[in-house]
Structure 1
């Protein structure tokens, strides 16, 4: 049910310069979908009454993704005033005046943050009585992050050396929250003193405020800091000065709140997410022989008893049915793999592989390839826009493009479907139970009827009736002595002369006159 007392603000206005990319940071992909889509999906699961995304840089491209994921969400364009504080101020202004609930603020670049952690944060906030509740994490190297500065009467700050020994629950580290988790302020890295830089507890950038506190205090934020921005983190100090309590909940696993600012952090997040995806499928009955070399996108799905061999990438919305074997060294993009099918050392995109069919090794299936049940696409075969019927086989060394092949037909080795005349593409239709010879060329458009045959080396330019044999009749000519005449003294000539020597000797002997015998 919709949480009528919850609004979510997603901060997506940052420029992301450290990514050094023409693609906006939040649109870089992670497990097959944009970084921001992970955050949007988490927000959608919380089912808040209002969800607001604040955008600025590359706003049109971001809005397209946001609207697709959250069609009922609000989009706010941040103005020229920089900083997260200003972004939240504008987002709060877009909420209805009569909304009196809680506001959850999350960053668009924290894709690992899950629903369970945020639901736990909301629960702690609503039962704890604080005006604001924040997430934090303990890092061995907190460089670049804002630090949580606790009040002097709090127990001593936890150091990085103590982090590993800190007891925790599945959601939050209780050693800190047992102290009520109260803080004095948050200091950004650029503004921190040496003693503050030694603090291991960092601000995770996830906040839950009462909307009334935001409306009262956001206008008081200043830009008196190293970056000349309105910091949302300054809300903590304003709340404490007003006598309000602020609670900080450290997450048990710091990767949950890790942000992505550059490509190194993107690869770290990708590896962690991939490990979680693989483990989930392993627990669901899928054999992943080598998780270290296997990559699976978030939208891919598998039935039990699927086996994935090393060096395999399962991308997009690929589905793999029960008992299928994929790999090794295989890439599937948006494919459908049937029961007990085998796809090895191959690359396929937008293709359908039927039950008990085999593909590979070294096959290349381009979009709209459909291989029927018990069919075969073999070694060094390329297909495109090809429908290959049940039981039909393209065993090796062929190109099949813009073709429709019936059932139980066999395409000979080295066959080429010549589908392009330089201007337009045409189709070739092969019937059922057809047997085609090696090194055939089918010049489209052409149709070969059911039960037909073709001879080796045939170029088919005209339709072949059912039950017929297609062949190109051209007598073979042997030009004897050609090597001796045109390649005299070559290795070929020497070999040929040696091979012909016995024959020449016999012929010479036969030409000698018979000896006379005496009387």
Structure 2
């Protein structure tokens, strides 16, 4: 396969989205529409990928960074004008250029590769991706000659009634010989109802030069679906989720109810993991083998070790070790690291803390900005008081400590290994190893007090 470059058209206004966010940056199954398209382009190892931006160029750059090059279409004057804005990036390149609309998240890398193969093997000046649709309304229709080569693309608004009956439509994805593309771009005229420079006009220009123009019909017409409003966004998101779920099930993951399971594209899941309904895995979450994720859990950009169970809990930017249990109703917040064989129980919140192997935090506890060692037992209602109203401080607890119920650890404080703390204590000073700490008022009982009070 010859080298290819890619130009992705992402400057559309997307007015039907009714949003402040540029259309191509709306999310579908964990990636933006544009990220899906860039991924499909990179699937054929393009030499360079150029994204043509309009409104929202800074936001697009922030998301994609240096993985692509950029061109600006300051004034929207049609798809031909958009590609012309990227022409300086293509000068001197002799291979093929892929041109893809930035709102086609269902397009697969395999389909793009097949399109390029068809262009190169058939020695076509241009090969376009097409689809057969039962209802082709809104799409440009493909006109062919008796040999099957493409002679023109006519847009819906410019088509005759007879042409509108054609069901083969343009999918806004092209593979064009770059030198010929650059020559044709200079010849496109805005001779249409909208006064725009249509990229589709290159078909007629190439035919006039005696060049061959072909079409590759997508096996799945849904790949050619663009996103213009929130309804279509929901539709493509559903299709992408189906693909993701099927991939995981084929890899040995059990999904109790796939229709109510939400897994983003970049998540990885090990074999023999079982996922119950209403579980959401977001971002770059990595789940090990033999994990059980019970209903109602949300996990984002986190690591869940093999053999661990999470029940009706939220885990965000955190790491849970192997053979631990989390929940129900636990909240593990960013920068938390839970060890192996740990217990994080009901209504426990962990934030920016390290919990050592075998430590049990069973219920109704808050641990923030702390380092807890191994084999610690944390009683019910323990609170690490890490904030004094102005600054946050850190607390440490050594291995094998026993912290009684309703203990307050006033940060910064250091609790040694093997320490026992009596229930109801408020600890404000460091405790050495193997000590016993009691920090509460002595109980006073006044008999007959009720009668004397009367």
SS of the residue 2:176 aligns to: strand
Distance 2:447 2:310 in 1: 48
Is 1:247 matched up with 2:245? no
Counterparts in 2 of 1:480 and 1:54: CA distance versus 1, 3 Å: same
2:289 corresponds to = 322
Larger-Rg structure: 1
In the alignment, which of 121, 126, 131 is matched to residue 127 of structure 1?
Answer: 121
Equivalent positions of 1:355-394 (< 5 A) are 355-394=322-361
2:380 corresponds to = 413
In the alignment, which of 105, 128, 136 is matched to residue 130 of structure 2?
Answer: 136
Is 1:91 matched up with 2:86? yes
For residues 261-288 of structure 1, what are the alpha-carbon distances to aligned partners after superposition, in whole Å with 9 as ceiling and x for unaligned?
Answer: 2222222111111111111111111112
Shift of 1:478: 4.7
2:54 corresponds to = 56
Is 1:190 matched up with 2:157? yes
1:170 corresponds to = none
Distance 1:212 1:433 in 2: 72
Greater CA drift, 394-403 or 206-215: 206-215
Aligned length: 453
2:25 corresponds to = 27
Distance 2:252 2:234 in 1: 27
In the superposition, the TM-score normalised over structure 2's length comes to: 0.94
For residues 240-277 of structure 1, what are the alpha-carbon distances to aligned partners after superposition, in whole Å with 9 as ceiling and x for unaligned?
Answer: 34443322222121111211222222221111111111
Equivalent positions of 1:102-501 (< 5 A) are 102-151=96-145, 154=146, 180-471=147-438, 472-478=440-446, 480=448, 482=450
SS of the residue 2:40 aligns to: helix
RMSD: 2.1
Distance 1:450 1:80 in 2: 68
SS of the residue 2:39 aligns to: helix
SS of the residue 2:71 aligns to: strand
1:45 corresponds to = 43
Shift of 1:409: 1.0
Distance 1:36 1:80 in 2: 20
**1:50, 1:95 within 8 Å by CA — same for their partners in 2?**
no
Shift of 1:229: 1.0
Greater CA drift, 49-58 or 10-19: 49-58
Q: Which runs of 5+ in 1 are unaligned?
A: 155-179, 487-519
**1:185, 1:234 within 8 Å by CA — same for their partners in 2?**
yes
1:12 corresponds to = 10
Shift of 1:481: 6.5
Shift of 1:50: 3.7
Distance 2:373 2:313 in 1: 23
Shift of 1:219: 2.0
Shift of 1:483: 8.9
**1:137, 1:202 within 8 Å by CA — same for their partners in 2?**
yes
Counterparts in 2 of 1:242 and 1:433: CA distance versus 1, 3 Å: same
**1:41, 1:69 within 8 Å by CA — same for their partners in 2?**
no
Greater CA drift, 381-390 or 212-221: 212-221
Distance 1:116 1:484 in 2: 88
Counterparts in 2 of 1:206 and 1:373: CA distance versus 1, 3 Å: same
Distance 2:337 2:54 in 1: 44
**2:267, 2:284 within 8 Å by CA — same for their partners in 1?**
yes
Distance 2:20 2:250 in 1: 39
Shift of 1:211: 2.4
Greater CA drift, 99-108 or 47-56: 47-56
Distance 2:393 2:3 in 1: 60
Shift of 1:479: 6.8
For residues 121-176 of structure 1, what are the alpha-carbon distances to aligned partners after superposition, in whole Å with 9 as ceiling and x for unaligned?
Answer: 1111122233321111122332222222344xx5xxxxxxxxxxxxxxxxxxxxxx
**1:37, 1:69 within 8 Å by CA — same for their partners in 2?**
no
**1:339, 1:354 within 8 Å by CA — same for their partners in 2?**
yes
In the superposition, the TM-score normalised over structure 1's length comes to: 0.82
Counterparts in 2 of 1:296 and 1:370: CA distance versus 1, 3 Å: same
The structure richer in strand per residue is 2
Distance 1:132 1:232 in 2: 12
Distance 2:423 2:49 in 1: 66
